[in-house]
Amino acid sequence: MVKVAPSILAADFGNLKSEINLIESSECDYIHCDIMDGHFVPNISFGPDIIKQIRKMTNKVLDVHLMIKPVLPYIKNFADAGSDIITFHIEEENDPEKIISEIKKYNIKTGVALKPATPLRSIENIIDIVDLVLIMTVEPGFGGQSFMDNQISKICELKELVIQRSLNIEIEVDGGIDELTGKQCIKAGANVLVAGTYIFNNEGNKYAQKILSLR
Ligand code: DX5
Ligand code: ZN
């Protein structure tokens, strides 16, 4: 079954509670939270205090995507705030095992993310010890960008690797996902679709309907 993870980066932060309520009553699986530091990516979003507030508003799985550098000193904050999954980027990380064991210490699922230009071989040594791999289908930093279809082959390659090694991991895609690009990703092997603009930016707030259309 394909899972859907609305990215609240595209939500109306002035009405966060009612936005979360709409998502809560929908058939989505995760709530994707994009953490940006203005350093690892050229944009700033929000931090653990907002995650803590969101935690109080929902029982959905909080899927926290860290686009920050460094990662290690902040894991405790995000764990304490109520994250269920913490995903970090492999780029520029020289000791990913340390980050993974720190996340696992809090009994939280661990994900590793790859920017579009990052090859799959960069996670070959750690793929057996993570729960999720996130393939970015846009350059991280901003919502509302166009899907990069040259990432489809990476999703296929990852799916093959998962089958070859009989791994029990999720394949998540993030960036420019809509009804059409989502289907392409599912066909290639993805089972978690992150979508921000497609779900939140529509007239009449038809979030639940948009979420169903992605499966
Ligand atoms: C981009 C973020 C995405 C973003 C997706 O850096 O990781 O999660 O919010 O937004 P859309 O679906 O609008 O591309
Ligand atoms: Zn994201």
Q: Is the pLDDT of residue 25 over 90?
A: yes
Q: What's residue 88's pLDDT? A: 98
CA-based diameter of the chain, in Å? 46
- Strand-strand pairing, 61-67 and 30-36: parallel
Question: What's the whole-number mean pLDDT along residues 176-196?
Answer: 98
Does residue 73 have a cis peptide bond before it, meaning omega lies within 30 degrees of 0?
no
DSSP class of residue 148?
-
Q: Write the pLDDT tens digit of every residue in 38-62.
A: 999 999 999 999 999 999 999 999 9
CATH number of 3-213: 3.20.20.70
- E-strand spans in the chain? 3-6, 30-36, 61-67, 85-89, 109-114, 132-136, 170-174, 192-195
At 143, the pLDDT band (50, 70, 90 cuts) reads: very high
> Ligand 2 is a single-atom ion; what residues have CB below 5 A from it?
34, 65, 174
Of 202 and 147, more confident: 147
The binding-site residues of ligand 1, defined as CB within 6 angstroms of any ligand atom, are 7, 9-10, 32, 34, 65, 138, 140-141, 143-145, 174-177, 194-198
Question: What's the whole-number mean pLDDT along residues 180-196?
Answer: 98
| DSSP-assigned letters across all residues of 36-79 | EBSSSSS-B---HHHHHHHHHH--SEEEEEEE-SS-GGGHHHHH
75 close to 86: Cβ distance less than 8 angstroms:
yes
Question: Is 80 an annotated catalytic residue?
Answer: no
Residue-wise burial string across 84-121, b where 16 or more C-beta atoms lie within 10 A, e elsewhere? bbbbbbbeebeebeebbebbeeeebbbbbbbbeebebe
CA distance 11 to 33: 11
Model confidence, pTM: 0.98
Paired tokens of 197: 């603009």
Q: Is the pLDDT of residue 92 over 90?
A: no
Question: Is 49 an annotated catalytic residue?
Answer: no
Q: Is the pLDDT of residue 201 over 90?
A: yes
Q: Is the pLDDT of residue 117 over 90?
A: yes
Could you tell me the strand order of the sheet in which 109-114 lies?
3-6, 192-195, 170-174, 132-136, 109-114, 85-89, 61-67, 30-36
Q: Is the pLDDT of residue 93 over 90?
A: no
Ligand 1 pocket test: pick from 4, 8, 9 the residue with the most ligand atoms within 8 Å of its Cβ: 9
65 close to 97: Cβ distance less than 8 angstroms:
no
Q: What are the structural domain ranges in the chain?
A: 3-213
